[in-house]
């Protein structure tokens, strides 16, 4: 079997951008190759045109191309023509696409398209209660219509997407994202920096970061030595038109609290793991996710987590067993759970241990790869 992925991101030094989508694709692609599946990855919107092999993956960087008129159409046809040529030459049997921006709208391939609901603009606008641009919904709706089959990383993401796009007579299969457990080991879970609270993710409103200043203030009212570490790129804020969410956060922190806050920006993947290992508690107060890759990575490293209690997160964490689930706007309860973990090392270690077990049971990429292979094979067979 030879399958391919079309994505705007992928974790590699030559790729312009990578986040949760890219990480989940890379994890799956590498696990598929271990099962004897040939994998090609098309990464569009790049600064250079290049093809290279890494970890048995054939990676095609597709250079971004500007068009004076009808760029929304011609850009997609340009990507289609490039991919079609490689698909034909490489005897690729299936193309998996993302839902974001409906990149596969107007594209036609001789192989079946599988769409994985990593999170469309329609999905995030729905969760954030924002109005979506009609053009964006049109692109995504057309892309959905052109897909043969669908996968969602959580049942919640699949159900919401099915409702938004009014998908009928087609099932959406839930297959969780996963991680290579061997790459996430914490040999000394009892060793951590007491009182440290870690957030990892883009600094953006939908991730709930603007709730953290008040939550952190409530934590420090009880535990004044508590520290908050923030890791992730800064971003534009859609509500205030500010070019920096970090600046908005700084204005919301009380001066005394801000002295105990460290913003590290974007750092390397290996450095992120080291910070997770050192953390006492990890927090993910997001309002909008389809899955949450960094959540299961922290769980695998045996960290006690306080997470959102919205939809997708209930499939990752069992409340009060493998972590705590609290709505981000419930600042009192969110702070209370953090304080509880910071005060009680035994509870923190117990929650972390159970989090690891939950990941081993549900998010082992080697088990998940086999489910994906079965799904791909069924789609390919139905298309013959």
What pTM does this model have? 0.91
The confidence score (pLDDT) of residue 18 equals 74
The confidence score (pLDDT) of residue 169 equals 87
- DSSP E strands: which ranges in 73-176? 94-98, 113-116, 149-152, 172-174
The confidence score (pLDDT) of residue 14 equals 85
- Output 113-116 pairs: Cβ under 8 A, ≥24 positions apart: 113/146, 113/147, 113/148, 114/147, 114/148, 114/149, 114/150, 114/151, 114/375, 114/376, 114/379, 115/143, 115/144, 115/147, 115/149, 115/150, 115/151, 116/150, 116/151, 116/152, 116/153
The confidence score (pLDDT) of residue 109 equals 94
Residue 30, both tokens? 């590498």
Q: What structural domains and CATH numbers belong to the chain?
A: 2-178+364-383 (3.40.50.2000), 182-362 (3.40.50.2000)
CB 9 within 8 A of CB 43: yes
Phi, psi (degrees; rounded to nearest 5) at 137: -65, -40
Interacting residues of 253 by C-beta distance below 8 A, sequence separation 6+: 213, 216, 217, 261
- DSSP E strands: which ranges in 57-162? 57-63, 94-98, 113-116, 149-152
The confidence score (pLDDT) of residue 364 equals 97
The confidence score (pLDDT) of residue 151 equals 97
The confidence score (pLDDT) of residue 357 equals 97
Beta bridge partner(s), residue 304: 281
The confidence score (pLDDT) of residue 281 equals 98
CB 300 within 8 A of CB 356: yes
**Per-position pLDDT tens, the chain of length 384:** 999 999 999 988 888 777 788 899 999 999 999 999 999 999 999 999 999 999 899 999 999 998 888 988 999 999 999 999 999 999 999 999 999 999 999 999 999 999 999 999 999 999 998 899 999 999 999 999 999 999 999 999 999 999 999 999 889 999 999 999 999 999 999 999 999 999 999 999 999 999 999 999 999 999 999 999 999 999 999 889 999 999 999 999 999 999 999 999 998 888 999 999 999 999 999 999 999 999 999 999 999 999 999 999 999 999 999 999 999 999 999 999 999 999 999 999 999 999 999 999 999 999 999 999 999 999 999 887
CA dihedral 168, 375, 5, 139 (to 10 degrees): 0
The confidence score (pLDDT) of residue 318 equals 97
Distances (CA, A) of 177 to 124, 189, 199, 297: 19, 24, 21, 11
In whole angstroms, how large is the CA radius of gyration of the chain?
21
Q: How far is the C-alpha of 218 from the C-alpha of 77, rounded, in Å?
A: 53
The confidence score (pLDDT) of residue 13 equals 84
């Amino acid at each position: 079997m030879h399958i391919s992925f079309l994505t705007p991101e992928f974790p590699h030094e030559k790729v312009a951008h990578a986040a949760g989508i890219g990480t989940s694709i890379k994890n799956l692609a590498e696990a598929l190759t271990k099962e004897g599946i040939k994998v090609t990855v098309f990464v569009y919107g790049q600064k250079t045109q290049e093809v290279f092999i890494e970890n048995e993956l054939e990676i095609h960087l597709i250079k971004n191309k500007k068009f004076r008129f009808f760029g929304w159409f011609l850009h997609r046809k340009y990507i289609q023509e490039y991919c079609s040529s490689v698909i034909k030459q490489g005897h690729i049997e299936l193309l998996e696409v993302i839902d974001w921006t409906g990149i596969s709208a107007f594209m036609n391939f001789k192989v079946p398209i599988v769409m994985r609901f990593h999170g469309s603009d329609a999905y995030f606008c729905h969760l954030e209660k924002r109005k979506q641009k009609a053009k964006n919904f049109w692109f995504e709706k057309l892309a959905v219509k052109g897909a043969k089959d669908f996968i969602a990383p959580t049942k919640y993401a699949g159900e919401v997407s099915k409702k938004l796009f009014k998908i009928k007579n087609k099932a959406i299969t839930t297959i969780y994202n996963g991680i290579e457990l061997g790459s996430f080991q914490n040999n000394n879970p009892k060793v951590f920096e007491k009182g440290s609270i870690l957030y990892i993710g883009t600094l953006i409103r939908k991730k709930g970061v603007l709730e953290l200043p008040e939550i952190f203030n409530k934590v420090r009212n009880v535990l004044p030595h508590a520290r908050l570490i923030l890791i992730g790129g800064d971003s534009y804020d859609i509500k205030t038109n500010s070019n920096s969410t970090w600046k908005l956060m700084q204005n919301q922190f009380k001066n005394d609290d801000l002295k105990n806050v460290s913003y590290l920006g974007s750092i390397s993947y290996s450095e992120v793991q080291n910070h997770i290992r050192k953390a006492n508690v990890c927090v993910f107060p997001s309002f909008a996710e389809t899955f949450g890759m960094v959540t299961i990575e922290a769980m695998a490293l045996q960290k006690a987590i306080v997470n959102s209690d919205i939809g997708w997160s209930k499939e990752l964490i069992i409340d009060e067993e493998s972590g705590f689930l609290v709505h981000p706007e419930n600042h009192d309860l969110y702070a209370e759970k953090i304080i509880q973990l910071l005060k009680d090392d035994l509870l923190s270690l117990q929650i972390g241990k159970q989090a690891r077990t939950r990941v081993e049971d549900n998010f082992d990429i080697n088990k998940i790869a086999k489910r994906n292979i079965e799904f791909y094979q069924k789609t390919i067979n139905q298309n013959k």
